[in-house]
């Protein structure tokens, strides 16, 4: 991948040091990626290089401006201040508070660089939520942490949403990392309308300034006229109507078990919709992941900078074996660069 000489690099965070994040990063840089740098631990990245065949020079740099000094084919790494020591000695495939703390510190530094304009966007390798919690990090995942960091000290957090996307389907979620009982209560008129508005605004990033948005219901068969629940009639339908009054091409609510088939844009099957808004995490993500995690990309919409990530986790069971597939990370880098190339449009 050849860089645009006028563009800022992307920042890739190493993720959990005990998982496959460093390995898929090493594999991706072997493909000739040269418009990105890594925020992480040099020792961890060198261990990952060895696990994936060796022969790749890991070069420590101090700032994104030093990227031009890295030899061709190198893997440039900025080590944020405050990383726990001896990370490369941590056992692979295990939850460790030090790995959680390091992952969080890399994310913090990436946001700082993105907010300053030193990098064009952020691509995050997988973190482990239990490791974050063990480190005392008060966020259940990337999305919530990025939302808080994007605001800055004392500022209101921006409304953000998670989108999972591949070439065939894009799903934006009203609720994300919470117990299902709580998620149902969190499906409110305001939350649904805000999700539709964020999805609509973000679609300009991929060339859809007026996207066709399908809104999925919450209950079986979208409530079946109130027989199986009334959230569609009392919450979702009014939110869709309000979005339409704002000039947004939104429709629904549709039955959640069929709307994704209608939206899927595949060979011989042009999708009826550009985006599906889903009420809960698994409602929306299972269809996209079923199409193949190697192609999926997680995108945080609503941030003042671009952020993408692979559609998979830390895969502790294969960490250190060199078998991890970098395809989803490659797709995340490609999408981040594509989104970052559209000036003046918030992700």
C-alpha to C-alpha distance for 274 and 67, rounded to whole angstroms: 37
Pairing verdict, β 10-13 and 58-61 = unpaired
Say yes or no to pLDDT of 99 above 90.
Answer: yes
Specify the pLDDT at position 3.
39
Say yes or no to pLDDT of 319 above 70.
Answer: yes
C-alpha to C-alpha distance for 164 and 332, rounded to whole angstroms: 11
User: pLDDT grade, residue 343 (50/70/90)?
Assistant: low
Shared domain check, 133 and 218: no
* Contact present, 150 and 303 (Cβ < 8 Å): yes
* Contact present, 276 and 263 (Cβ < 8 Å): yes
Provide the whole-model pTM.
Answer: 0.88
Length in residues, the chain: 347
Shared domain check, 111 and 25: yes
Say yes or no to pLDDT of 1 above 50.
Answer: no
Q: How many domains does the chain have?
A: 2
Shared domain check, 221 and 118: no
What are 24-79's pLDDT values in tens digits? Answer: 999 999 988 889 999 999 999 999 999 999 889 999 999 999 998 898 889 999 99
Classify residue 102: in a domain, yes or no.
yes
Query: Among 204-213, 262-271, 276-285, which range has the highest average pLDDT?
Result: 276-285
List, as own/partner pairs, every contact residues 83-89 make where C-beta atoms lie below 8 angstroms and the sequence separation is at least 24, other chains included: 83/41, 86/43, 87/17, 87/41, 87/43, 87/44, 88/17, 88/41, 88/43, 88/44, 88/46, 88/47
* Contact present, 35 and 3 (Cβ < 8 Å): yes
Shared domain check, 323 and 267: no
Classify residue 41: in a domain, yes or no.
yes
Shared domain check, 61 and 151: yes
Classify residue 277: in a domain, yes or no.
yes
User: pLDDT grade, residue 17 (50/70/90)?
Assistant: very high
Note the Cα 86 to chain centre separation in Å: 28
Please tell me the least confidently modeled range out of 93-107, 148-162, 319-333: 148-162
Note the Cα 182 to chain centre separation in Å: 23
326, 309, 331, 294: which is closest to 23 by C-alpha? 326
Classify residue 184: in a domain, yes or no.
yes
- Other CB atoms within a 10 A radius of the CB of residue 166 amount to 22
Backbone angles phi, psi at 59, to 5 degrees: -110, 120
242, 148, 231, 228: which is closest to 195 by C-alpha? 242
Higher pLDDT, 2 or 253: 253
User: pLDDT grade, residue 318 (50/70/90)?
Assistant: very high
Q: Which domain holds residue 79?
A: 1-159+301-347
C-alpha to C-alpha distance for 29 and 121, rounded to whole angstroms: 17
User: pLDDT grade, residue 250 (50/70/90)?
Assistant: very high
Shared domain check, 330 and 277: no
Classify residue 296: in a domain, yes or no.
no
Specify the pLDDT at position 224.
87
Shared domain check, 151 and 106: yes
Shared domain check, 137 and 9: yes
Q: Specify burial of residue 270 (Cβ count, 10 A radius: 0-12, 13-18, 19+).
A: exposed
Say yes or no to pLDDT of 137 above 80.
Answer: yes
Cβ neighbours for 153, distance < 8 A, ≥ 6 positions apart: none
């Amino acid at each position: 991948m050849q860089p645009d000489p006028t563009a800022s690099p992307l920042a890739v965070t190493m993720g959990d040091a005990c998982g496959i994040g460093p390995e898929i990063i090493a594999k991706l840089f072997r493909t000739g990626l040269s418009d990105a740098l890594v925020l992480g631990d040099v020792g961890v990245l060198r261990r990952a290089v060895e696990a994936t065949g060796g022969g790749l020079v890991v070069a420590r740099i101090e700032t994104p401006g030093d990227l031009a000094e890295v030899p061709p084919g190198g893997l440039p790494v900025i080590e944020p201040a405050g990383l726990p020591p001896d990370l490369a000695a941590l056992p692979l495939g295990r939850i460790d508070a030090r790995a959680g703390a390091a992952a969080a510190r890399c994310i913090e530094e990436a946001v700082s660089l993105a907010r300053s304009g030193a990098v064009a966007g952020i691509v995050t390798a997988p973190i482990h939520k239990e490791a974050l919690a063990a480190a005392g990090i008060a966020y259940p995942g990337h999305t919530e942490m990025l939302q808080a960091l994007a605001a800055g000290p004392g500022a209101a957090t921006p409304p953000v949403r998670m989108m999972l996307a591949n070439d065939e389907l894009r799903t934006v979620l009203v609720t994300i990392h919470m117990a299902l009982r709580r998620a149902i209560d969190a499906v409110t008129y305001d939350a649904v309308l805000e999700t539709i508005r964020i999805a609509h605004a973000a679609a300009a990033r991929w060339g859809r300034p007026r996207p066709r948005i399908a809104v999925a219901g919450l209950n079986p068969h979208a409530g079946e006229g109130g027989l199986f629940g009334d959230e569609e009639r009392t919450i979702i339908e009014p939110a869709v109507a309000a979005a339409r009054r704002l000039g947004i091409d939104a429709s629904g609510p549709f039955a959640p078990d069929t709307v994704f088939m209608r939206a899927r844009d595949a060979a011989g099957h042009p999708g009826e919709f550009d985006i599906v808004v889903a009420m809960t995490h698994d409602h929306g993500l299972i269809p996209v992941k079923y199409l193949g995690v190697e192609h999926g990309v997680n995108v945080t919409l609503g941030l003042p900078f671009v952020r993408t990530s692979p559609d998979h986790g830390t895969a502790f069971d294969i960490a250190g074996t060199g078998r991890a597939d970098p395809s989803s990370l490659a797709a995340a880098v490609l999408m981040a660069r594509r989104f970052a190339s559209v000036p003046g449009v918030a992700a």
